[in-house]
Amino acid sequence: MENFTYHRPASAADAAAAMKGAKDGKYLSGGQTLIPALKQGLASPSDIIDLGGLKNSGVTVGATVVIKAGTTHAEVAADAGLRKAIPGLSALAGGIGDPHVRHRGTIGGSIANNDPAADYPAACLGLGATIHTSKRKIAAGDFFTGMFSTALEEGEIVTAVEFPIPKKCGYAKFPNPASLYAMVGVMAAQLADGSPRVAVTGAGAGVFRATAMEAALAKDFSAAALNGVAVAAKGLNSDLHASADYRAHLITVMAKRAVEKAK
């Protein structure tokens, strides 16, 4: 791993200033994706700006659910208020990686990194979340812009994610047995106004909505409604773990499970 200058600012303003002063800076949150990437030489920033010093964590349940960016997956999964308000989101957080990763990885880090196989992007898109940043609020549909890319501008920091409370939702994934990342993961939700949402992660270059499935669920929010409804294999990921055809098949299977689990 290349060496870098380490910063641990105590405020978002100091973090932004450190980023501005860096030749090629990168923010670090829980580090569960970034540190492996640094070790593999996939990234070699001049400066690492650790956001851990901002102490920006916690879950607030009110008319919506607000999860601060530095909240770990374990803290999200353990929050009793969230478990009542959006059990499907609570379960998703409790199923990310493994217990040790969940002690470190954060929601802000996960979505800012936008790994195409990460779980949280499916929750954000599937539940119609709003991403709060140091500069503005961005709808999830506009935030995720493709593989490892987001609408975040230079130096902009995710501060919180706000989830509207759906009628019900469920998340089902088929994890890669070694990395535990989603080979395919599907968040299926019935939003407060009754409209269905289906968001798919792991299968393509980035998270996307399965609109044909949403149309089928609009008439009848049941697993049976998804019989014979599939996402085309063309354009899906194909690698040594699974072909595009296999992933396309998995999407329907996972979507049905997600609908069945929804509560």
Partner 1 sequence: MPAISMKVNGQAVCGDVEGRTLLVEFIRDKLGLTGTHVGCDTSQCGACVVHVNGKAVKSCTALAIAHDGAEVTTIEGLAANGKLHPMQEAFREHHGLQCGFCTPGMIMAAVDMVNRLGKKLDEDTIRHELEGNICRCTGYHNIVAAVKAGAANM
Binding residues (CB under 8 A) for partner 1: these are: 1-6, 8, 28, 31-32, 35-36, 38-40, 48, 50, 52, 74, 97-101, 103-104, 178-180
In whole angstroms, the minimum distance from the beta carbon of 240 to partner 1 comes to 16
- Give min distance, CB of 35 to partner 1, in A: 5
Closest separation between CB of residue 8 and partner 1, Å? Answer: 7
CB closer to partner 1 out of 33 and 133: 33
The CB-of-236 to partner 1 minimum distance in angstroms stands at 24
Residue 28 CB, nearest approach to partner 1 (Å): 8
Nearer to partner 1, 98 or 154 (CB): 98
- 74 vs 125 by CB, closer to partner 1: 74
Q: What is the DSSP string of the chain?
A: ----EEE--SSHHHHHHHHHH-SSEEEESS-TTHHHHHHTTS---SEEEEGGGG----EEESSEEEEETT-BHHHHHH-HHHHHH-HHHHHHHHTSS-HHHHTT-BHHHHHHHT-TT-SHHHHHHHHT-EEEESS-EEEHHHHEEETTEES--TT--EEEEEEEPPSEEEEEEEE-TTT--EEEEEEEEE-TTS-EEEEEESSSSS-EE-HHHHHHHHH--SGGGGTT----STTS---SS--HHHHHHHHHHHHHHHHHH--
Closer CB to partner 1, 2 or 154, in the complex: 2
How far is 253 from 227, CA to CA, in rounded Å?
9
Tell me how far, at minimum, the Cβ of 104 lies from partner 1, in Å: 6
